Amino acid sequence: MTTPLTLDTDQARALLHDLTVIDVRTPGEYASGHVPGALNVPLDQIRRALPEIRQAAQRGGVLLVCASGARSGNACALLAEHGVESATLVGGTRAWADAGHGLRRPDTGGSRAGWSMERQVRLTAGAVVLLGLLLGLLVHPAFQFLSAGIAGGLVFSALTDTCGMAAMLGRLPYNRPRPADLASTLAALRHG
């Protein structure tokens, strides 16, 4: 098993033209802005793309990117389990943009860019907490347990650095790659 590597934004920028960059966020997040040249393979599709990522790693370095570095770190660990060496961008696209490096957005034909997963989780968690409190006041106090459940889930999420709500939201249609998108990404990985 190989050990996942990390690159900071300056190191990644200096090597960008020699790397295959894979953004493991959802398609909606990817559309909101990604590292130039990054290909979108959502984290839940990494196993499916393993042969193509292995080919890319044999041609040169592979850099995995997400919003903050957590999901790309998980993807690096998964690839390492399969003997594929890769690196993760410390701080993710957020750090990339904060360092003053530009983000690319795909041409969406004028449609709005998608929301980041973090923003989707904040909206969903806040809405469910408010709904639980409102229903607890207007219908029955037991509905306040809905709010307590979300609060407990957020604490668990912070302690384990995982997010069940993000995993569920990632399965929604606007966060899923269209089959044609993933097929073209896998072809791009195969042919470098």
C-beta of residue 73 within 8 angstroms of C-beta of residue 42? no
**Active-site hit among 39, 49, 65, 66:** 66
Rg from Cα positions in the chain: 18
The 10 Å CB-count burial string (b at 16+, else e) for 40-77 is bbbbbbbeebeebbbebbeeebbbbbbbbbebbbbbbe
Active-site residue 66, yes or no? yes
C-beta of residue 51 within 8 angstroms of C-beta of residue 82? no
Beta bridge partners of 62: 20
One-letter amino acid of 121: V
Rounded CA gap, 146 and 163, in Å?
17
Query: What contacts 62, CB < 8 A, 6 or more positions away?
Result: 19, 20, 21, 22, 53, 56, 79, 84, 85, 86, 87
Residues annotated catalytic, as ranges: 66
